[in-house]
Structure formats: C-alpha cells, structure tokens
Structure 1
Amino acid sequence: MDDVRRARISAEPIDLAAHLAAVDDPRMGAETSFVGRVRNHDPEAVGAVQALEYSSHPDAEQVLRGLAQRAADRTGAIIAVSHRVGRLDVGEAAVVIAVAAPHRAEAFEACRQVIEDIKRELPVWKRQIEQSGDATWKGLGG
C-alpha cells in the first residue's frame, strides 16, 4: 500500500479537497486534516503582516515525503501533504495535511506528527513582510 499519497512542494494554491480525496480509503475509519494559513499578525512583528514569501531547498519535497512516511509507519495512516512556496497573502494556505487512519487516535497523532516535523525539519524558510514594508526572515538556523 502506498502510505504517502501526496507529498508536494509547489507554488500553486493547495486544494484541501484533493488532499482528502487522495487519502479516501474504505479500510480507514477516521480522517482528519490540518490547514496552516498566513495570518495577519505575528508576536514578533511590529505591525500587521501583509504576506509571507516561502522558499525551499531543492530536496525539500523528498524530505517532506520522508516526514510523511515516518508518520505513516508509526501510525498506520495514509497521508497527503503539501507546502507552498512563493508569495502568499494573508488567508492563503501554506500547508495542507490530510490523514486517514483506522481510528481517530492514529489520525490525530499522524497529523500532529507531520506538522510538528515540518516545523522542525523541512528545509523551507519564510520571509515575513509587514504592511510597513519591513521584512524579517524566519526559520533560518533552526
């Protein structure tokens, strides 16, 4: 069985419905999803956030697949995950994860593991742009 049905780094908008369709499986009794969106504020920002610009290492998609596979191996889940790159305005989805698992506990565990591992290990960086024009790089050096 292909446990990781999708693992993509893309400049195109992410479709949650396509991710949910990718993990649809009659053997699974639970589905969960996570959508990480660009918000208009950040505790470290002086003013309102206008956009985020994401960039990635050339191996990021391979790393993302490995993170998803690790969660699938641990939980028995099926996973579809994507991360955007490029400029994203407030409200746009930066990360989408869909998970199907035999039971809800495994579905929630796999989804949480994938997003936490993305934050820690995926070589994707963001430049936060405030309405004032100030910009700050985030995610560099750990």
Structure 2
Amino acid sequence: MPHVPTRTRPTGYPGYSETLPRRPESAAAARRPVRVALAVWGLDTLAEDGSLIVSELVANAVEHARRESLRVTVERPGAGRVRLGVVDFSRVRPLRGEPEPGNERGRGLVLVDLLAEEWGTELFPWGKRVWAELRSGGEG
C-alpha cells in the first residue's frame, strides 16, 4: 500500500491533511498528522485528546462510510483552537447514542462529545466531514 504523505499548507488557512485507506488500522495512522500539527503549533497539551478524538472519528467512518478512502484534516481556526475532521463519501450523519453497559461498541461519539469543545457534521454533495474542535486554555 503506497503511503500518501501529510500535506501542509504553508500559506493561507493553516492545516494538515492526509488521505488514508478506509480500514481499522488507519485510526493509528490518523493520529500522526494530529500530533505533528499540534507540536508545530505549540498545542501539545491537546495531543492526547486530539489523538483519541481522531481515532474515534476514523473508526466511525470505517464502519459506516463507503468507498476505499477517507481524509483526515487538522486545521487551526484560532491561536488556541484546533479543528479535527474526517471526510468520507457518505452523507449519513453520525448519531451519538447511549452505549449499553458491557458493550464495547457505541462509545466513540460519546467520547468525542466529552472531550471536544464542540463537534458537528458538514454535508457535501458527495459526502461529509465530521469535525471536533479543541481549545487550549479557553483561548479562541
């Protein structure tokens, strides 16, 4: 499987993105651009939560999306803010459910909801981006 390198945008809206295969092992690969971006931006304190959030968003896309790939995006809309996203080719919005006791499944969006300042879905004609925003020290 060829590796597509993380692309940075040197000018304009700051961000990192990476296209990954829609497979469970891509959750681990998705954490890399998150950690790189946060280190470059001096937002290392958000790395643990950001890594967990992007892992859960990728896992959700792997299970529910279609086609062979997904795209991870890491953007910095403000000095102390980071927006993580997973873009896929399904227009079905994710639903935050209540996991049943003892069931390992159904906890992803519950974790995202607990860790993120806010999260949501942007629909496109061909798919969607599920995003979550983190803030460092209440900055924005």
User: Under a length normalisation based on structure 1, what TM-score does the superposition of the two structures give?
Assistant: 0.33
As a proportion of its length, which structure holds more strand? 1
Q: Which has the higher contact order (CA 8 A, sep 6+)?
A: 1
